[in-house]
Amino acid sequence: MRALAAEASKLVSLPSVWIATAAGVLVPSVIAAIIASSALGAIDRGAATTAGVDTGYQELAFGVVGAIILGVVGISSEYFTESAESGGGRQITTSLTVVPSRLRLLLAKMSAIAIAGALLAIIAAGTTLGVVRTVLGEHAPALGADDLPRLAGVVCYWVYTALLAFGITVLTRHGIVPLAVLVANTSVVSVTYLLTKITPWANYLPDMAGVRMFIRKLAGDTAEISPLTGGLVMTAWVTVLLVIAAIAFTRRDA
């Protein structure tokens, strides 16, 4: 518990984590406001009677960029070399001095990031769906018991994505490459989505399978993957990657 508390304290002290929080909340909320306004215009013109069932949820798939930043900086900050005036050391040296067990340290970091990712997802989901309901009013999709599994899917997706980013960064020991690749794939050009147009097996990549946990209709989707299957597939990807990352972290020099 002390190691977990220490890692949580380190996360809170990182400015990048607050940037991740702002991105995770603002990105989906702003996009949701724009899309909901557009949908309201279509409703006023009589082109539709209500917004789509995925309004708000699709935007949360883009907002996961906040979880990506969280997962990357949660470990890459350990390898940042301080200035010569500060001694030129790295945080990882101090961390391993305080917690000699590498596996214990890694598990504490993973737990802190998972908890932070879950909290961020809950806040982002509440804010984004609140924006949709505020803009659309009575035309907003009705919220009911069916939304509880979808909201749980959002939280799982964000936590898993943060842990995927964490695992990749453990292997690279540098945050720039995983951050650039993962953010670009999520918000600019989704390479994994384009791959689904080439081979149906791409639907079982972690992000494409994971979104099935809360998005009901993907554009141009031809694969029939249930929310449960999508969650299990993403769980398998995350588990394998974290096992590989743990082996690498415990066996190589700091």
Tell me the CA distances in angstroms from 248 to 91, 95, 111, 218, 254, one per residue in order: 18, 17, 18, 36, 10
Q: Which residue, among 8, 120, 23, has the nearest Cα to 74 in the 3D structure?
A: 8
Q: Per residue in 230-240, pLDDT tens?
A: 999 999 999 99
The whole-number pLDDT of residue 86 equals 46
Q: State mean pLDDT over 188-206.
A: 86
Handedness of CA 121, 123, 128, 133 (dihedral sign): positive
Domains of the chain by residue range: 2-22+65-115+144-251
Q: How far apart are CA 80 and CA 230, in angstroms?
A: 35
The whole-number pLDDT of residue 218 equals 75
On whether the pTM is more than 0.85, the answer is yes
The whole-number pLDDT of residue 71 equals 94
Q: Which residue, among 24, 23, 219, 52, has the nearest Cα to 132 in the 3D structure?
A: 52
pLDDT band of 72, cuts 50, 70, 90: very high
Tell me the CA distances in angstroms from 162 to 25, 72, 134, one per residue in order: 15, 8, 29
Q: Per residue in 121-163, pLDDT tens?
A: 999 999 999 998 888 877 777 777 888 999 999 999 999 999 9
The whole-number pLDDT of residue 92 equals 80
Token pair listed for 210: 């994971």
Mean pLDDT for the chain? 86
Residue pair 34/126 in contact by the 8 Å Cβ criterion = no
Q: How many CA atoms lie within 13 A of 250 on its CB side?
A: 13
Q: Per residue in 106-117, pLDDT tens?
A: 999 999 999 999
